[in-house]
Amino acid sequence: MRRRAPFFKKSHQAWYVELDGKQVRLAESEEDAFEKYHQLMTARKKAARFVTPGIPGDYTLGRLYAEFLQSAFADRSVKTKGFYEQKLNRLVDHLGREFPAEELKPLHIEQWIALHPSWKKGTIRTIWQAIQRLMRWGERSGRTPHSTICDYGKPGATRRTVIISPTTYLTVIVPNIRSVEFKQLVAVAWEVGARPQELLEAEARHYDPQAKRLVFPEEEAKVDKWPRIVYLSNAAVPIVEKLVQIHPTGKLFRNRVDRPWTNSSVNCEWVRLRHRLGFAKMRAEKIEPTEEAIAEKTRTLRPTRGQRQKTSAELREEARLKCRQKIASTLAPKFCMYHFRHSWLDRMLKKGVDVLTCAILLGHRDPSMIAKTYQHLSQSPDYLRAALNKAAA
């Protein structure tokens, strides 16, 4: 391999240097050749330190995704970044990290989603949201050209329309929650209408004992431009104050093994409640799974438990329990923490609390959010009829 230094080429009677596999003519005299050589090498060093403005090199999906995670979430929470990682990791693994980012089309996403028929509408919507944000970020930062994915109409949002009445809360939900710790969380959610995540993240340091409220600083609030204040009702105050004494540090709301509640553990409690209510209805109506359903379910179960082979009786009993749970799930509603927020607003509006006050207590800065997002009163014909008669009187 030729050394990168000027050399004299007799056939051309001139000095040359080999750069990047090509011979570059410098000059006929040795003095002029070395002067030009040094100028050329200085220019190459400067070019190596600076990126020439313009369109960057072709971006693969893996490269775009990696830089998106590194640059777009500097001022965002770990949870927000984790949301996009969860959604986008699947797509990158499916198409491959070397897939050209600018060639990504809605057809690729539709075909990928079609491979997962069990995905619900809400899951598909959030996947589209994550992919569209990735491609818009790539376009705004100059990494990729405009993508047709940004213009694609993603599925509409699924509205939570379940309203829990005070009667249902007192006679159905509360008596059937067996965990005291979960009952405390549900009781505060019923009383204050806070976002579920706000209650899960609450700590003793957030509690303001003078004003009887939880104060989240702006860097911890959902909207990080101002603090989030959750006012506590008279029924919620003693629960929170008791938890502040028990847990002076760390999360206030914890389960029976002293671990903070998470979205998954809360969901498990709601599933248990659903099964409990469904089993009660099955007993009342004397409903049991058929032998055919149990036999069919048995064929789908894993035949071993650890290193031990399950007996036929164990397999049948496991299948019977799973079949009973499936039936129970069809006979009872599944509640979630957001139902309590919506139900709180429904009760406040029916009691005559004005929309602006409700918006402030919910943590909305724009009262129009209530009209756009919460359409609960349309489900209460008796209330609307009474309001109409009151206005006409």
Tokens encoding 107: 């057809």
Band (190; pLDDT cuts 50, 70, 90): very high
104 φ/ψ angles, rounded to the nearest 5 degrees = -70, 125
With 0-12 / 13-18 / 19 or more C-beta atoms within 10 angstroms meaning exposed / middle / buried, residue 385 is exposed
Domain ranges of the chain: 7-49, 61-151
Q: How many CB atoms lie within 10 A of CB 43?
A: 10
Q: Which of 41-50, 70-79, 257-266 has the lowest mean pLDDT?
A: 41-50
**CA 84, 89, 95, 96 torsion-angle sign:** positive
Report the pLDDT value the prediction gives residue 163, as an integer from 0 to 100: 87
pLDDT exceeds cutoff 50 at 53: no
- From residue 111, give the alpha-carbon distance in Å to each of 105, 107, 126, 268: 10, 6, 16, 32
- What percent of the chain has pLDDT above 70? 87
Q: What is the DSSP string of 322-358?
A: HHHHHHHHHHS----HHHHHHHHHHHHHHTT--HHHH
Q: What is the CATH number of domain 61-151?
A: 1.10.150
390 φ/ψ angles, rounded to the nearest 5 degrees = -65, -40
Report the pLDDT value the prediction gives residue 272, as an integer from 0 to 100: 95
Task: Count CA within 13 A, CB hemisphere, residue 164.
Answer: 26
Q: Which of 113-127, 157-171, 314-328 has the lowest mean pLDDT?
A: 157-171
Report the pLDDT value the prediction gives residue 330, as an integer from 0 to 100: 94
CB 142 within 8 A of CB 56: yes
CB 247 within 8 A of CB 204: yes
Report the pLDDT value the prediction gives residue 38, as an integer from 0 to 100: 84
Average pLDDT, the chain: 86
Task: In whole angstroms, give the CA distance from residue 296 to residue 310.
Answer: 17
Residue pLDDT, tens place only, 75-93: 677 778 888 999 999 899 9
**CA 142, 143, 148, 154 torsion-angle sign:** negative
Cα 217 to chain centroid distance, Å, stands at: 22
Band (376; pLDDT cuts 50, 70, 90): low
pLDDT exceeds cutoff 60 at 49: no
CB 282 within 8 A of CB 328: yes
Pick the residue with more confidence: 79 or 277? 277
Alpha helices in 170-311 (DSSP H): 174-176, 180-192, 196-201, 236-246, 263-285, 291-298
365 φ/ψ angles, rounded to the nearest 5 degrees = -90, -20
Which residue has tokens 């600083």?
217
Residue pLDDT, tens place only, 279-296: 999 999 999 999 999 999
Report the pLDDT value the prediction gives residue 356, as an integer from 0 to 100: 85
Angle among Cα 335, 338, 343 to the nearest 5 degrees reads 85
Tokens encoding 207: 């509690």
pLDDT exceeds cutoff 80 at 100: yes
pLDDT exceeds cutoff 70 at 239: yes
Encoded amino acid at 46, one letter: K
Task: In whole angstroms, give the CA distance from residue 271 to residue 182.
Answer: 13
Report the pLDDT value the prediction gives residue 158, as an integer from 0 to 100: 63
Q: How big is the chain by its Cα radius of gyration, in Å?
A: 32
Task: In whole angstroms, give the CA distance from residue 63 to residue 141.
Answer: 14
Look at residues 211, 261, 246, 201 and name the one whose alpha carbon lies nearest to residue 232: 211
Report the pLDDT value the prediction gives residue 117, as an integer from 0 to 100: 85
22 φ/ψ angles, rounded to the nearest 5 degrees = -120, 145
